[in-house]
Structure 1
């Protein structure tokens, strides 16, 4: 995909509905024709300390398939939304740190991420990707809250 001179927008994605809602919010409400969209994904981590070589190969193949499927899904979504410029980056490690690192390296103008809507106690114990990104980002951050279904 081409790389025009417009805004560089980083969007954190994974297999969740929250990430898809954040992408859709951007595409439906904020997208500009000359934006360059950088989709950032951090694959799920597995504890492989006691795994045999066979199990390790199976896990790595599963991760590869999941990443490829996610990349294809978002490539299709970008085409459907008329987004012509962008790329997909997979980075290992902590998702929040990965998003911030890629946004810095790619000189992004904006980061968009979903929010799982965890409560205060759970967020304190587990941490929060959106909270990390918000406090460490080199640029403005938009956190998309989960959609609330109307009754």
Structure 2
């Protein structure tokens, strides 16, 4: 029987990032407590799909192509800003590779598909901490991913501020 190498090949850790402080907290926690030499951190931003509008809005006005282009441009700028902020957070890591991906679609589906396509060893997500009512109406990305991906999922909660 051959001896196993003590050198690990490193893990692929997918960290879902968005505009919220919760994803910043999750990324920071991951870098401080999980990331090790040889790992690859995959920063994943799920760009929500553009709302589908009919040719006329409720007031009977047509949406111009300029408005649609402006909405697309804004969405792209938000995605770029999210990734740049996350990459700055990762700056200075030694022996850890950082990759970035922006995918369009429902965040629940995008995250699950990306985890599978990159062969992730673990998925790290922030939690908004919605209660039962909000979660029922808005859905929970972290809950959906925890139920549907085939790798371990780490959900990082923001600590609640102390009441004074």
In structure 1, distance between residues paired with 2:83 and 2:118? 19
* Matching of residues 30-45 of structure 1 within 5 Å: 30-45=34-49
1:7 aligns with 2:19: no
Asked if the contact 1:11/1:38 (under 8 Å) is kept, the reply is yes
Asked if the contact 2:46/2:105 (under 8 Å) is kept, the reply is yes
Tell me the C-alpha RMSD between the 2 structures: 1.8
Deviations 1:104-127 (A, max 9, x none): 010000000000001112212221
1:115 aligns with 2:127: yes
* Offset at residue 81 of structure 1 (A): 4.4
Q: Structure 1 residues 65, 29: closer, same or farther in 2, change over 3 A? A: same
- The match for 1:27 among 27, 31, 42 is 31
Structure 1 partner of 2:59: none
- The alignment of Structure 1 onto Structure 2 pairs a total of residues equal to 148
Give the greater-gyration-radius structure (CA): 2
* Matching of residues 1-150 of structure 1 within 5 Å: 5-50=9-54, 51-82=63-94, 84-150=96-162
Q: Structure 1 residues 54, 81: closer, same or farther in 2, change over 3 A? A: same
In structure 2, distance between residues paired with 1:82 and 1:148? 31
5+ residue gaps, structure 1: none
In structure 1, distance between residues paired with 2:13 and 2:140? 21
* Offset at residue 60 of structure 1 (A): 1.0
> Structure 1 length as normaliser, TM-score?
0.90
Question: Larger helix proportion, structure 1 or 2?
Answer: 1
